Amino acid sequence: MATVIRLSRGGSKKRPYYKIVVADSRMPRDGRFIERLGSYNPLLAKDDDKRVVLDSDRAKHWLSVGAQPSDRVARFLDAAGVRERSARNNPNRAEPGEKAKERAEEKATKLAAAEEAKKALEAAPAEEDAKVEDAAPEAEAAPAEDAKAEDAPAEEAKAEEAPAEEPRAEDAKAEDAEKTEG
């Protein structure tokens, strides 16, 4: 007969209380058991002495006869110094799945593209400022006479292009009155 040392749940809904029992491995979790070794109350504080109560002599006996402890009971036995528990190592435990990795890669590429666009926008005004700064010394280097000579023909052209002023309506009436009088 294969025996196990495991927890058997008791207590009411949302108020768990466990018995540490030795049972036949074919029996249901809360079913018939061979011997009760102690209790576990997860509602008590972790440093409370009554959180885990265990008869270590009987536990040693059952382990010597071949009973296999469950994971949680193995932790209790290790804490009590009855049986040393080997540490488990699962390096892939926290590694995300394939789809999560794909989503993370897509997000990373989008962020990189957004950062590049932001840098390009920041660089564009800096280039325009550099062009304006380069143009300013050239304008200052030109003599003032050249600037005046360039402006004068432009003013004359504006005067030539301007249409002749039309006489005002009041002036036209005055001229008509003079013609009729004279």
pLDDT in the model for residue 74? 94
- In this prediction, residue 92 carries a pLDDT of 85
Q: Are 54 and 23 in a shared domain? A: yes
Coil, strand or helix at 155: helix
- For the chain, what is the total number of helices (H) and then of strands (E)? 5, 5
47-73 mean pLDDT:
94
Residue found by looking up tokens 């897509």 in the block:
106
If one compares 144 and 63, the residue with the highest pLDDT of the two is 63
Q: How far is CA 139 from the centre of its chain?
A: 51
75 and 100 together in one domain: no
Residues 76 and 100 in one domain: no
Confidence of residue 58 (pLDDT cuts 50, 70, 90): very high
Residue 22's H or E segment, with its range, is: strand 15-24
How much is the pLDDT for 73?
94
Residues 72 and 109 in one domain: no
- CATH code at position 51: 3.30.1320.10
Does residue 8 carry a pLDDT above 80? yes
Domain that holds residue 107: 96-138
Is this structure's pTM higher than 0.95?
no
Per-residue model confidence as pLDDT tens digits over 89-143: 888 888 899 999 999 999 999 999 999 998 888 887 766 666 656 655 555 555 5
Do 125 and 75 belong together in one domain?
Answer: no
Domain count, the chain: 2
Residue at 180 is within a domain: no
Of the candidates 64, 5, 72, which has an alpha carbon nearest to the alpha carbon of residue 34?
5
